[in-house]
Amino acid sequence: MKIHDLQPPAGSTRPRRRVGRGIAGKGGKTAGRGTKGQGARNNIKPGFEGGQLPLTQRVPKLKGFKNPFRVEYTVVNLDTLEAFDSAVVSPDTLRTAGLAHKHGLVKVLGRGELSRALTVSAHAFSASAAEAIRVAGGTVEVLPPPWGGRRPPAKGNALTNR
């Protein structure tokens, strides 16, 4: 048997019923659509949901999602700490030098080299930054976030309009 010999068994396939072609045979008069009513007519818009607000109007139009619990850090790199004049670096000393925001959390990242021992306290460190500070003879202190051990408080437009 070859692929061109394949065909369905005799009697298993039937031609489709052509409705709406007069009263001879099946499918005359109302053509299987019942008597009157919305389903018998041919003017329903695609997506119409019977007066309910359609799905296309219910879904939000803007793309994406803004996480209300996102934690954003002020970033300080090792080359900035190398140029810093103090041996003790904390968020407060960085704020007075104008390198961190007034209320922002501070994260130290590993860009640059560090050649002297520093005592660095911040809210977060990258692994390479913490290793570079320890190799230079300094110490790393991770500060707890101001909201405690829980998740950060939510922020965003949905919360400011209350």
Q: Is 109 part of any domain?
A: yes
Give mean pLDDT, residues 42-60.
87
Q: Is residue 94 within a helix (H) or strand (E), and if so which, with residue range? A: helix 91-96
d(CA 29, CA 92): 86
Domain tally for the chain?
Answer: 1
Facing residues of 139 across strands?
119
Dump pLDDT digits (tens) for 83-109.
888 889 999 999 999 888 888 899 999
pLDDT beyond 90 at 61: no
pLDDT of residue 9: 94
d(CA 95, CA 102): 6
pLDDT of residue 54: 92
Q: Are 84 and 51 in contact (CB under 8 A)?
A: no
CATH number for the domain harbouring residue 89: 3.100.10.10
Please give the radius of gyration of the chain, using alpha carbons only, rounded to the nearest integer: 35
Q: Is 91 part of any domain?
A: yes
Q: Greater confidence, 61 or 91? A: 91
CA nearest 98: which of 112, 83, 87, 109? 83
pLDDT confidence bin for 25, thresholds 50/70/90 = confident
Q: Is 113 part of any domain?
A: yes
CA distances from 104 to 52, 86, 89, 94, 95 (A): 46, 21, 15, 11, 9
What three-state secondary structure class fits 75?
strand
Q: Is 108 part of any domain?
A: yes
Dump pLDDT digits (tens) for 123-136.
999 999 999 999 99
pTM (predicted TM-score): 0.57
Q: Is 32 part of any domain?
A: no
Q: Is 155 part of any domain?
A: no
Q: Is 90 part of any domain?
A: yes
**Percent residues over pLDDT 90 in the chain:** 40
Q: Is 61 part of any domain?
A: no
d(CA 41, CA 108): 68
Q: Which domain holds residue 110?
A: 73-142
